């Protein structure tokens, strides 16, 4: 067990099911998605979100992500209602564009949150387990 880990989870458990490698691939896919456009990025972030699990006796990653999504949704619904009240005659296509812009922003916020959540819980980025471009992280 990692003595520096204050969350109490056993790092090797995640390794046995390959979760760190799956997270690594999902993160890379999100970065690739950024290159190919908002729709690809949103799909990649959603796939990354699906890999968040609740660790028995450890961090409840899935629950934390879902709570954060609820917060984002509440804020964005308020923003949308403010926009709509300022322009109540907006045509349907403009309303869809605004909703789409909010969804794109949500994907960006959620992606950053999930990476930080993994970092905060000492998953995925510890020395020797992360392959690829970032394998020199101490």
Whether the predicted pLDDT of 14 surpasses 50: no
Whether the predicted pLDDT of 68 surpasses 80: yes
Residue 128: pLDDT band by 50, 70, 90 thresholds? very low
| Torsion angle (degrees, nearest 10) of CA 36, 23, 134, 69 | 70
H-run or E-run covering 63: helix 61-86
Q: Could you state, in order of their start, the residue ranges of all structural domains in the chain? A: 11-133
pLDDT higher for 67 or 57?
Answer: 67
pLDDT higher for 38 or 134?
Answer: 38
Sequence-separated (6 or more) residues with CB below 8 Å from residue 117: 52, 59, 61, 64, 65
Whether the predicted pLDDT of 136 surpasses 50: no
The model's pTM is 0.76
pLDDT at 19: 84
Residue 106 — φ and ψ, nearest 5°? Answer: -60, -40
pLDDT at 8: 53
Residue 134: pLDDT band by 50, 70, 90 thresholds? very low
Picking from 34, 18, 49, the residue whose alpha carbon sits closest to that of residue 115 is 49
pLDDT > 90: what percent of the chain? 54
Whether the predicted pLDDT of 26 surpasses 50: yes
Whether the predicted pLDDT of 87 surpasses 70: yes
Give me the mean pLDDT over the 23-31 stretch: 94
């Amino acid at each position: 067990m990692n003595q520096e880990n204050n969350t109490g989870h056993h790092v090797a458990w995640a390794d046995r099911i390959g979760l760190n490698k799956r997270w690594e691939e999902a993160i890379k896919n999100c970065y690739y998605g950024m290159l190919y456009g908002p729709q690809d990025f949103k799909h990649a972030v959603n796939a990354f979100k699906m890999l968040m699990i609740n660790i028995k006796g450890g961090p409840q990653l899935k629950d934390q992500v879902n709570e954060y999504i609820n917060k984002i949704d509440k804020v964005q619904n308020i923003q949308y209602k403010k926009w709509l009240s300022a322009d109540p005659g907006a045509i349907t296509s403009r309303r869809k564009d605004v909703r789409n812009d909010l969804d794109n922003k949500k994907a960006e916020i959620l992606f950053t949150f999930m990476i930080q959540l993994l970092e905060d819980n000492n998953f995925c980025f510890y020395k020797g387990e992360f392959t690829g471009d970032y394998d020199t992280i101490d």
